């Protein structure tokens, strides 16, 4: 019998054959449903594990903060050699980008000083114009090859960006003029005045209030700039006037850019404006304005008479300065992406110290103990300002 083959007890209830078959089918359905529930619970736990791991990976890759060495060691123990390799890659990228940013920014100022002072090239507008022309050629070529993406230069975008570009051109030209008369170390210290003007502008234009540490750092910057100017053995009134105007234009550019950026994004085709587009936009629009200023400052006559333009080495140095200007833009974006605003601002302040020392040694600048102390005091004030801004940003 059926029940005997199933090894059931000898005494069975007097159920019908159909009833017993129905019970067996119900039991099989119950087993299948239980198996499905177990499978679903197991797969959902696996999915939760995958999601939690991937979210941690995204946080680790997208974080702008510095990497904690202790957490790195913990992840190396957990994840094995794969995660250790990924973390070391992040460290290497941050180190390389920071090194590229420091070298390009220092080299750019030193090369400009070399062209304007050592070659005695009296055409700062022409130097700015050639550097921007090199930048336009390189960025346009990279965009044409599909390596980078840039926004098309429409007439609506040009009209919105033109006021900012006028300030941008003035900022570059005054920087060239001041660098011709003032040594690199004093230019670096005097540029701290830009931070003071920017902070005051933020307070009046954007109603942004700074804490006491920031104002203390700004006060130290003013003291160092004044003491540095008084003790400067190579003081030049024209150079200091150009540098003060450069600080004013640089602060104006920073404050104006914040307002224009939002408007410019609204008139672009993609609805966004990346850093490469801004580099192309600024440098391309500066070309016609720079050509106009060549005639206003009568540099055309000087260019027709100077023998420097017949020297191949001079053209090589000019072209190098153009590539260095573009390298600053690319390396700063790379470094900012790999680290964050905190590390970027702090490294930028610390980078002024070797730049000032190199400027004094390479160009044999006459200095005194008082002037060297003022320069060092101003550089420390810049570092103190960067740390104060970091704390202010973290507290807000």
What average pLDDT does this structure show over 376-393? Answer: 89
What average pLDDT does this structure show over 48-59? Answer: 34
Is residue 81 one of the residues assigned to a domain? no
Segments of 22-88 assigned E as strands: none
Backbone region of residue 231 per phi and psi (left: phi > 0; alpha: psi in -120 to 50; beta: other values): alpha
Q: Residue 165 above 70 pLDDT? A: yes
pTM, full prediction: 0.75
Q: What is the pLDDT of residue 273?
A: 86
Q: Per residue in 169-180, pLDDT tens?
A: 999 999 999 999
Q: Residue 300 above 80 pLDDT? A: yes
Is residue 79 one of the residues assigned to a domain? no
> Hey, how many other C-beta atoms are within 10 angstroms of the C-beta on 340?
15
Structure tokens at 274: 């990346």
More confident residue, 229 or 390: 229
Q: Per residue in 301-347, pLDDT tens?
A: 999 999 999 999 999 999 999 999 999 988 988 888 888 777 788 88
Q: Residue 26 above 60 pLDDT? A: no
Structure tokens at 157: 């975008």
Q: For 223-262, give the DSSP string.
A: HHHHHHHHT-TT--HHHHHHHHHHHHHHHHHHHHHHHHHH
Structure tokens at 210: 């700074």
Q: Residue 69 above 90 pLDDT? A: no
Is residue 88 one of the residues assigned to a domain? no
More confident residue, 33 or 89: 89
Same domain, 154 and 16: no
Same domain, 174 and 321: yes
More confident residue, 261 or 223: 223
Is residue 136 one of the residues assigned to a domain? yes
Same domain, 151 and 9: no
Same domain, 21 and 150: no
What average pLDDT does this structure show over 346-371? Answer: 90
Q: Which of 22-31, 253-262, 309-318 has the highest mean pLDDT?
A: 309-318
Question: Whole domain around residue 273: which residue ranges?
Answer: 122-395
Same domain, 24 and 131: no
- The number of distinct structural domains making up the chain is 2
What average pLDDT does this structure show over 368-389? Answer: 91
């Amino acid at each position: 019998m059926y029940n005997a083959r199933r090894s059931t007890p000898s005494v069975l209830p007097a159920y019908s054959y159909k009833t017993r078959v129905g019970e067996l089918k119900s039991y099989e359905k119950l087993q299948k449903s239980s198996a499905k529930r177990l499978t679903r619970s197991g797969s959902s736990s696996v999915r939760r594990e995958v999601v939690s791991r991937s979210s941690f990976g995204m946080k680790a890759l997208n974080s702008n903060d510095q990497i904690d060495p202790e957490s790195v060691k913990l992840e190396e123990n957990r994840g094995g050699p794969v995660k250790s390799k990924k973390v070391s890659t992040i460290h290497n990228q941050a180190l390389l980008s920071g090194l590229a940013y420091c070298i390009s920014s220092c080299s750019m100022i030193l090369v400009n000083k070399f062209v304007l002072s050592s070659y005695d090239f009296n055409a700062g507008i022409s130097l700015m114009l050639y550097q921007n022309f090199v930048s336009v050629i390189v960025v346009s070529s990279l965009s044409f090859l599909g390596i980078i993406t840039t926004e098309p230069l429409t007439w609506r975008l040009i009209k919105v960006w033109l006021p900012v570009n006028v300030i941008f051109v003035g900022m570059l030209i005054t920087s060239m003029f001041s660098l011709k008369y003032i040594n690199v170390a004093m230019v670096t210290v005097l540029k701290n005045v830009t931070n003071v003007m920017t902070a005051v502008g933020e307070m009046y234009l954007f109603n942004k209030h700074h804490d006491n540490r920031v104002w203390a750092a700004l006060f130290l910057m003013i003291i160092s700039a004044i003491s540095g100017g008084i003790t400067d053995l190579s003081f030049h009134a024209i150079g200091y006037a150009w540098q003060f105007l450069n600080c004013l234009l640089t602060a104006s550019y920073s404050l104006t850019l914040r307002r224009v950026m939002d408007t410019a994004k609204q008139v672009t085709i993609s609805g966004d404006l990346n850093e490469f587009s801004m580099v192309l936009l600024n440098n391309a629009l500066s070309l016609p304005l720079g050509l106009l200023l060549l005639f206003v400052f009568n540099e055309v006559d000087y260019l027709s008479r100077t023998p420097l333009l017949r020297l191949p080495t001079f053209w090589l140095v000019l072209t190098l300065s153009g590539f260095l200007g573009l390298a600053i833009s690319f390396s700063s974006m790379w470094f900012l992406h790999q680290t964050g605003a905190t590390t970027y601002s702090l490294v930028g302040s610390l980078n002024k110290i070797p730049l000032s020392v190199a400027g004094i040694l390479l160009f044999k600048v006459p200095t005194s103990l008082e002037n060297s102390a003022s320069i060092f005091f101003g550089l420390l004030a810049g570092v103190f300002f960067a740390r104060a801004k970091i704390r202010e940003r973290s507290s807000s």
